[in-house]
Amino acid sequence: MVKSLDDKIFNSVVYVILGLCGLAAILPILYVVAVSITPFGEVLRNGGFILFPREITFTAYRTLLTESNIPKAFQITVLITVIGTAVNLILTALMAYPLSRKNLPARNFFLMMIVFTLLFSGGIIPTYLVVKSLGLLDSIWAMILPNAVWSFNVLIMKSFFEGLPEELFESARMDGAKEFRILLQIVTPLSVPVLLTVGLFYLVGHWNEFFQAIFYVTDRTLYPLQVVVREILMQSQQPLENAENMMPTQTMQMASVMIASLPVIVIYPFLQKHFTKGMLLGSIKG
């Protein structure tokens, strides 16, 4: 097919702008990487702008991993992420499966109960009082239980379950299978895509956990990664007297940013399609 000149110009403009969008998304992250592994003398020499450092040092990472709260915080975050995601998925699936049964008595009541929490909430303070009165303050459960079920994820999973072929359930019931077994052995294997999608959203949520820690945890040994990284970042907010001190601080800060974001950045490209699917599933509902 012969392309007209107009078409060529149009295409080039599209590609250039798209390329710029891609660069705008990735350059800041690459810059953070570069700063975190470049000796600060080199940073200074280049007027601060380095993308491909000639010299590489991992001192900042070594210092962070041996002399700061980062390793402890990393453990806490991993713990919250693993336990939290497991709790999330189990509770969400246990709610979504019964609600996907259209003939369940009082189904609408339970659905309303879930949907209403999307529209109205008691707010930060009353929730804090509940967490406090349960004695959960200053425990990792304070960062897991208050958000154990996201209403939206129940709705996403429920609509996926509704799409499973009814005959499967019928024949399993004929064979005398109990509902728990049906959920575990028939529904779960067929629902891997939605479990993965919903699970990933929960997982990223836990990895990025910040606010429940700020709200409910004062014990510094329980701080998750994001809270500790923010503390490290806040240290430079006060102006420093000599520029000599500033550079290592910045290197250190960027190294901590990298440690906190690397797992997400690394797994994301491989799981992108599941995230995207979740976004679309969610927006069909919403």
Partner 1 sequence: MEADHSLTPPPRIGPTPKMKLQTMLRAIWSFRAFYIMLLPGVIYFIIFRYFPMYGVIIAFKNFAILEGITGSSWVNPWYKHFQDFYQSPYFGQLLSNTLLISVYKLVWGTLPPILLALLLNECRVRWLKSIVQTLTYMPHFLSWVIIFGILLTLFSQNGGLINRWIVEAGGTSIPFLTSTDYFRSILVGSEVWQNLGWGAIIYLAAMAGIDPTLYEAAKVDGASRLRMIWHITLPGIRSIIILLFILKLGHLLDAGFDQIYILYNIQVYPVADILDTWVYRTGLQQLNFSLASAVGLFKSIIGLILVLGANRMAKKWGEGIW
| 102 contacts: CB under 8 Å, gap ≥ 6 | 162
| 240 contacts: CB under 8 Å, gap ≥ 6 | 246, 249
- Give the one residue of 53, 59, 65, 275 binding partner 1; rule: CB under 8 A: 275
Q: Measured from the CB atom, is 67 or 175 closer to partner 1?
A: 175
- Strand spans (E) along the chain: none
Task: Look up residue 180 and give its amino acid.
Answer: F
Residue numbers 75-134 binding partner 1 by CB under 8 A: 91-92, 94-95, 97-99, 101, 103-105, 110, 113-115, 117, 119-130, 133-134
Q: What spatial distance separates the first Cα and last Cα of the chain, rounded to whole Å?
A: 42
Stretch near partner 1 under the rule CB under 8 A, chosen from 16-24, 52-60, 65-73, 191-199: 16-24
Q: Measured from the CB atom, is 149 or 198 closer to partner 1?
A: 149
b (16+ CB within 10 A) / e for 137-158? bebbbbbbbbbebbbbbbbbbb
Give the 3-state secondary structure of residue 179. helix
The most distant pair of C-alpha atoms in the chain lies apart, rounded to whole Å, by 78
CB of 127: closest distance to partner 1 in angstroms?
4
Residue numbers 168-187 binding partner 1 by CB under 8 A: 173, 176-180, 183
In whole angstroms, how far apart are CA 176 and each of 171, 180, 242? 9, 12, 77
Stretch near partner 1 under the rule CB under 8 A, chosen from 10-18, 56-64, 66-74, 190-198: 10-18
Is there a contact between 40 and 251 (Cβ–Cβ < 8 Å)?
A: yes
Is 204 among the residues that bind partner 1 (CB under 8 A)?
Answer: yes
Q: Measured from the CB atom, is 124 or 168 closer to partner 1?
A: 124
**Residue listed under structure tokens 């700020």:** 214
Is there a contact between 159 and 92 (Cβ–Cβ < 8 Å)?
A: no
Interface with partner 1: number of residues (CB under 8 A): 103
CB of 54: closest distance to partner 1 in angstroms?
18
CB of 87: closest distance to partner 1 in angstroms?
9
CB of 236: closest distance to partner 1 in angstroms?
7
Stretch near partner 1 under the rule CB under 8 A, chosen from 62-70, 158-166, 186-194, 237-245: 237-245
CB of 79: closest distance to partner 1 in angstroms?
17
Gap between the Cα atoms of 260 and 49, Å rounded: 23
CB of 192: closest distance to partner 1 in angstroms?
20
Residue numbers 28-67 binding partner 1 by CB under 8 A: 28-29, 31-32, 35, 47-49
CB of 143: closest distance to partner 1 in angstroms?
13
Closest CA to 144 of 193, 194, 221, 90: 90
- Give the one residue of 12, 17, 171, 192 binding partner 1; rule: CB under 8 A: 17
